[in-house]
A = this chain, B = another copy of it.
Amino acid sequence: MSSKSVGRGEGRPTLEEVAARAGVGRGTVSRVVNGAAGVSQQARTAVEQAIAELGYVPNRAARSLATSRADAIALVIPETETRLASEPFFASIIRGVASELSDTELQLLLILVSTERERRRLAGFLDGRRVDGVLMVSVHADDPVVDLLEHTGLPTVLGGRRSELEPISYVNPDNLGGAWSAVRHLLGLGCRRIATITGPLDMEAAVVRLDGYRRALAEAGLPDEPRLVAHGDFSEGSGERAMAELLELEPELDAVFAASDLMAAGAMRVLRRAGRRIPADVAVVGFDDSPVARHTEPPMTTVRQPSEEMGRAMARLLLEEIASPSRSHRQVILSTELVVRESA
């Protein structure tokens, strides 16, 4: 039999107990556990054996307290789980972040916030320093969660800035160039009555894509007609509604640039129902190059936004920021690319 420290029941074994059993001091055990150098082979073996026998696992809370590191980072998504599930963009971001984190010891924590209550709980969680840094995507201009982040002083990286003067580090796709090239493509096809379906205008990405659209039209000497602009919120349903509206206001339109693939898919459905052929009657271009773009009928021409790479870049920036905190913020702009399929 063995001392009290060994059995199950008396709680989990501690560093101290391992040390006692291995006949060494706490320091030595700590060194072994953390893979530090300067431990004799003999001591190391003894400790390892004691750890195995006792089934010792370090207590993270204690370690956190001592080192003031949490070994975890949060990816905050201020949307509902429905949205998380319906927009492939998030999946790509998650994949990118996870892959960049894969050879670190950092645990990725996904946190969804939509209610005020959840926001407060998140505040407590972050303030309590349960993570070493925060990633956040899908940020709306007036999102209170961001203030919360700034206030905690935790290293933070946004996926999608709120404005050009964003004071926090961020990774952004080249929305302007993407939208611009989409509309240029439509113009090149000979389209002249080009409508657009925007995203929610409290998001910079939506505003800038609209800008890109307008700029391309202006360059082509085309007027900016309000009735060619309808608003959505990036979701499929909103794309349908917006398209219906456009068709009503401007039956003569010959092309649509939607600020997201999902909205473009919704628009295509409405167009087809209205008897318009795509692209013969109306050409359609989306934005994102999400999986759905490949499965629409016909396959969708769209602007590729490197979402996964965006996730990776975000993680990379955050790691840098954690490693060397600094007042200055970093930013990365990822270029976009037009993928021509059959809808335009």
Q: How far is the CA of A109 from the CA of B111 in the complex (A)?
A: 6
Q: How far is the CA of A315 from the CA of B70 in the complex (A)?
A: 25
Among residues of B, the one whose C-beta sits closest to the C-beta of A61 is B64
| Chain B nearest Cβ from A195, distance in angstroms | 25
Q: Is the CB of B107 within 8 A of A121?
A: yes
**Which one of B84, B117, B129, B130 contacts A85 once the chains associate, using CB atoms below 8 Å?**
B84
Q: Is the CB of A91 within 8 A of B102?
A: no
**Which one of B61, B81, B125, B127 contacts A95 once the chains associate, using CB atoms below 8 Å?**
B81
Q: Is the CB of A129 within 8 A of B61?
A: yes
Chain B residues with Cβ below 8 Å from A91 are 81-82, 84-86
Q: How far is the CA of A158 from the CA of B108 in the complex (A)?
A: 21
Chain B residues with Cβ below 8 Å from A84 are 84-85, 91, 94
Interface flags, A98-114, vs B, CB<8A=1, else 0: 10001101011111100
Q: Is the CB of B70 within 8 A of A61?
A: yes
- Given A59-B129, A94-B81, A118-B102, do A107 and B112 touch, yes or no (CB 8 Å)? no
Q: Is the CB of B95 within 8 A of A80?
A: yes
Is A31 interfacial (CB 8 A cutoff)? no
Chain B residues with Cβ below 8 Å from A118 are 98, 102
| Chain B nearest Cβ from A240, distance in angstroms | 11
Is A115 interfacial (CB 8 A cutoff)? yes
Q: Is the CB of B102 within 8 A of A115?
A: yes
Is A333 interfacial (CB 8 A cutoff)? no
- Given A85-B91, A121-B105, do A61 and B128 touch, yes or no (CB 8 Å)? yes
Interface flags, A45-66, vs B, CB<8A=1, else 0: 0000000000001111111110
Q: Is the CB of A129 within 8 A of B80?
A: no
Q: Is the CB of B130 within 8 A of A61?
A: yes
Q: A residues touching B (Cβ–Cβ < 8 Å)?
A: 57-65, 68, 70, 72, 80-82, 84-88, 90-92, 94-95, 98, 102-103, 105, 107-112, 115, 117-118, 121-122, 124-125, 127-130
**A84-B84, A86-B88 provided; 17 other pairs, C-beta below 8 A?**
A57-B127, A59-B128, A60-B125, A60-B128, A60-B129, A61-B61, A62-B65, A81-B92, A82-B91, A85-B90, A98-B112, A98-B118, A105-B121, A107-B121, A108-B111, A110-B111, A110-B112
